[in-house]
């Protein structure tokens, strides 16, 4: 795909705006555990290649299909959350009695998951406002975590490839 420099520069600027929308989304107890990254070029290609490897290794074909979408996109924004139980009394939303039991079991705080979802919701809303084609990819997040792209403390991740072409490449997929 040919992307002219002005379009690529514009898309990078819009990607930064999308990251800002995620960053400013409300967070439980005002604790910001969000990490964002904008991948293009070799980093994006490495992510797509690892997604293909997961597809073959684990028998999940949609990872390969999604890798094709990542390759089609000039860039992909990655969103991750650290796993830090918030210590809310009488919670149990994670399915455990308390935060200590959650940590012993290696679980993920429900508020961390919820905050990441709200941040991504803000991000895709901003992408829609900017008329950028996009699609949330769990598969890209899984691959990014395996590659360590989001840092050693990242527990949950999703990817958001962006495109500005005449037809949205992320829907009507096979």
User: Which CATH number do you get for residue 75?
Assistant: 3.40.109.10
- The pLDDT, as a whole number, for residue 174 is 63
Q: Provide the whole-model pTM.
A: 0.93
- Residue 168: inside a domain, yes or no? no
Q: What angle do CA 34, 133, 117 make, to 5 degrees?
A: 25
**Res. 79 pLDDT band, cuts 50 70 90:** very high
Asked whether residue 174 is domain-assigned, the answer is no
Going by the DSSP 8-state scheme, the letter that residue 81 receives in this structure is E
Is residue 123 a part of any domain in this protein?
yes
Residue 75, phi then psi, degrees to nearest 5: -155, 165
Residue 15 counted as domain residue: yes
Q: What is the pLDDT of residue 168?
A: 87
Domain that holds residue 44: 5-163
Return the higher-pLDDT residue of 12 and 8. Answer: 12
Task: Measure the CA–CA gap between 56 and 119, rounded to whole angstroms.
Answer: 31
Domain count, the chain: 1
- Give the number of other Cβ atoms within 10 Å of residue 137's Cβ: 27
- Asked if the structure places residue 51 within a domain, the reply is yes
In a domain, 92, yes or no: yes
């Amino acid at each position: 795909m040919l992307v002219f420099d002005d379009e690529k520069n514009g898309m990078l600027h819009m990607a930064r705006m999308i990251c800002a929308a995620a960053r400013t989304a409300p967070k439980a107890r005002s604790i910001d555990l969000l990490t964002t990254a904008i991948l293009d070029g070799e980093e994006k290609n490495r992510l797509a290649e690892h997604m293909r490897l997961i597809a073959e290794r684990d028998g999940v074909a949609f990872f390969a299909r999604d890798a094709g979408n990542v390759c089609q996109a000039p860039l992909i924004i990655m969103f991750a959350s650290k796993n830090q139980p918030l210590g809310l009394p009488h919670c149990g939303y994670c399915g455990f009695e308390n935060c200590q039991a959650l940590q012993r079991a290696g679980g993920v705080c429900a508020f961390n998951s919820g905050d990441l979802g709200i941040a991504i919701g803000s991000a895709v809303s901003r992408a829609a406002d900017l008329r950028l084609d996009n699609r949330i990819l769990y598969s890209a997040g899984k691959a990014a975590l395996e590659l360590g792209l989001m840092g050693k403390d990242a527990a949950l991740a999703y990817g958001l490839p962006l495109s500005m072409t005449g037809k949205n490449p992320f829907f009507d997929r096979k």
